[in-house]
Amino acid sequence: MKTIDGIKCLIVDDIPQNLVALEALLQRDGVQFLKAHSAREALELLLQHNDIALALLDVQMPEMNGFDLAALIRGSERTRHIPLIFMTAGTHEQNWQFQGYESGAVDFLYKPIDPDMLTAKVNIFFELHRRKQELAQQLQERTEALRVNEMFMAVLSHDLRNPLQTIKMAATLLKRQTDASKNEELAERVLGNSQRMARMVEDLLDITRIRQAGGLRLTLADMDLARLCEAAVEDARQCSLERVLHYQTEGDTQGRWDGERLAQVVSNILGNAVKHGAADAPISVRLDGSQPGGVRLTIENGGTIPSALLPDLFKPFRGGERQPGQSEGLGLGLYIAQQIAQAHGGSIQVQSAEGQTRFEIRLPRQPLAQNRQAML
């Protein structure tokens, strides 16, 4: 979930004391002040920062005055939405005010400026900007929720229907079958597709738990992560005898974790390495417990993940990577793995370039209290 950014306010004045005084007057939590001594410095700051809530511009500045700066701000698609307040120590000339409002200003203030009036005006724009950020976040969350709901419907109407149809056909054949030698083959087909359906249903249940409860629930216990990884590597070797897997461990691999959930993480990433990695390159699994605060597990394989997929690799129901009805799965494995790591207070990172892909899982030995979910 995207968090709401802090408020940014641009102040432009060629007198340093005025910049200091304005910042001191308007200073509050959650507000970042971008100070510029000239219009040129202000333009540089506008190039570096996005989503500025308000700009306070001095009118009388050397080289480029505030009106010219405002025209440049209004002429750019990135910055034309920024509210502008002009400030000047000049005389009360109506022509200046008209020019200021024609330049797109929302207000025109004369120095010395009443502190209470300026604070009240600025607070209004800060609050409007904060509400704009909140609305944008709500829109993003609802758009994502609609996308996930649509994918749920696609799963129910396509992905689960395919193995169910296979089970029905196999059961029908079993009922009519007179050749006992065919029964084992049909039973294996029923078992395999039922297991596939069970995995899909469990993934969907995990997604529901994450969305409704804000995270996965953990059952923590003292354990040795090395044994868990060794078992996962051995299972991968048995399922893919032609692949070469290297496993090594060092340091203290003891900690307090949810072993069943971490086995799900390791199996998923290792399974992806076996399935999608280069067949002629070995897979390397390294467990490093040399640091007192936590452990680090890395899984490397040959092959490169397409750069277009990397930004969305840990998103549920990744768009464009698969179509409903394909047998590869629901595109939920890496998302759930990331959620499991985060529930432990850890993280999963991926690097893929120059023919090599590397997943790195970091876990604290003891999840922090704020990262733990209620125990099952």
Classify residue 146: in a domain, yes or no: no
Tell whether 364 and 234 lie within a shared domain: yes
Which CATH number does the domain housing residue 239 bear? 3.30.565.10
Residues 43 and 175 in one domain: no
CA atoms of 338 and 341, how far apart (whole Å): 5
- Domain membership of residue 142 (yes or no) is no
Tell which phi-psi region holds residue 91, choosing left (phi > 0), alpha (psi between -120 and 50) or beta: beta
227 and 363 housed in the same domain: yes
Q: Return the structure tokens found at 21.
A: 């005084």
Which DSSP state fits 155?
I
Cα–Cα distances in angstroms (integers) from residue 249 to residues 33, 101, 117, 266, 360, in the given order: 49, 69, 65, 15, 14
- The tens digit of pLDDT for each residue in 233-264 reads 998 888 887 889 999 999 999 999 999 889 98
CA distances from 120 to 114, 148, 215, 221 (A): 10, 42, 40, 55
User: Could you tell me if residue 155 is inside a domain?
Assistant: no
Domain end marker among 102, 137, 172: 137
Strand partners for 184: none
Could you tell me if 205 and 226 lie in one domain? no
Task: Determine, yes or no, domain membership for 150.
Answer: no
Q: In whole angstroms, give the CA distance from residue 300 to residue 282.
A: 8
Strand 254-257 and strand 221-224: the pairing is antiparallel
pLDDT in tens, 279-307: 899 999 999 999 998 999 999 999 999 88
E runs forming strands in 163-271: 221-224, 245-251, 254-257
Does residue 267 lie in a domain region?
A: yes
Q: CA-to-CA distance for 41 and 27, rounded, in angstroms?
A: 21
pTM value is: 0.54
| CATH value at residue 129 | 3.40.50.2300
Tell me: do 290 and 165 sit in the same domain: no
CB 352 within 8 A of CB 305: yes
Assigned domain for 144 exists: no
Query: Based on the domain organization, do 226 and 331 belong to the same domain?
Result: yes
| 208 shares a domain with 230 | no
240 in a structural domain = yes
Asked if 360 and 303 sit in the same domain, the reply is: yes
Last residue of a domain, one of 213, 231, 247: 213
Do 81 and 25 fall within a single domain? yes
pLDDT of residue 216: 76
pLDDT in tens, 332-353: 788 888 989 998 999 999 999 9
Domain assignment of residue 196, given as a range: 160-213
Give the count of domains, the chain: 3
- Co-location of 111 and 76 in the same domain: yes
Q: Hey, what are 76's tokens?
A: 């750019």
- Domain assignment present for 153: no
**What does the pLDDT profile of the chain (376 residues) look like in tens digits?**
444 568 899 999 988 998 998 889 998 888 999 999 999 999 999 999 988 999 999 888 888 888 888 888 888 888 888 999 888 876 666 666 666 677 767 888 888 888 898 899 899 999 999 998 889 888 887 887 777 676 666 666 666 666 777 788 778 877 777 677 777 777 777 887 787 777 777 777 777 777 666 667 788 999 999 999 999 999 888 888 788 999 999 999 999 999 988 998 998 899 889 988 998 999 999 999 999 989 999 999 999 998 888 888 888 765 444 444 444 455 678 888 898 999 899 999 999 998 999 999 999 998 754 444 433 3
Same domain for 121 and 240?
A: no
The reply to whether 241 and 204 lie within a common domain is no
